[in-house]
Amino acid sequence: MEVEVKLRLRDATAHRQLTTVLSPFFIKTLHQQNYFFDTPTNTLSSRLSVLRLSFPDEEAHCDVSLKSKPTLVDGVCRVEKDTEELDLCIARGCVEDTARLAKTESRIVKRVKDEFGVGEEAGFVCLGWFKNKKTVFYWEKLRLEVDETTYDFGTCYEIECENEDPDGVKRLLEEFLKENGIPYSYSNMTKFDVFRSGQLPKGSEFEP
């Protein structure tokens, strides 16, 4: 079970404020392309699951993940997640020709086929993709990831932190953001949900 604190930043200005304040704690920046797959009849989505291929820049591999049964309450996200590395050339081939994905020698793909009853004759379809720029910081013994996620319909900004004490981390982050006058709100949609909705989240009240 992956547990993350997810706080949405109001806009590009808030994102810039945060990355500037955190700059002494900078570790690295990752540029990712995330592709999502399901069957033609939405077998995975109907069971609150999604298969993802994520391509980090400057890496010789792709991360293939199965995410299932996410919950996002008051800025704390819990999701069942299984991940493995896949050869970059093989993964790129699967994006170009989705019929290859069901034939891939991947533990996770095999698990999806077994658990969801996906045969090679049905195969997978690509639901689409989006880009994510992830700036990583190490602050107060926490790995913070500040995301700039670009969809066809706009850009979202978010700070994430995976931790076994999400409530404690959330309090610490909220105090930090308020002290620095950075407007934020609790994320109420996962990145995939935003992608599927086709529009940026609305109705959030930002603090401070």
Number of structural domains, the chain?
A: 1
pLDDT reported for residue 123: 83
Distance, CA of 82 to CA of 184 (rounded, Å) = 29
Residue 101 falls inside a structural domain: yes
Average pLDDT over residues 137-153: 97
Q: What is the pLDDT of residues 186-203, one digit of tens each?
A: 999 999 999 999 999 876
Domain extent at residue 143: 2-197
Residue 206 falls inside a structural domain: no
Residue 207 falls inside a structural domain: no
Residue 82 falls inside a structural domain: yes
CB atoms within 10 A of CB 50: 22
Average pLDDT over residues 87-104: 91
Residue 203 falls inside a structural domain: no
Q: What's the distance, Cα to Cα, between the start and end of the chain in Å?
A: 31
Q: What is the mean pLDDT of the chain?
A: 93
Q: What is the CATH number of the domain that holds 142?
A: 2.40.320.10
Residue 6 falls inside a structural domain: yes
- Of 68, 66, 59, give the one whose Cα is nearest residue 84: 66
pLDDT reported for residue 58: 67
Residue 146 falls inside a structural domain: yes
Residue 16 falls inside a structural domain: yes
Q: What is the pLDDT of residues 1-45, one digit of tens each?
A: 999 999 999 999 999 999 999 999 999 999 999 999 999 999 999
pLDDT reported for residue 118: 81
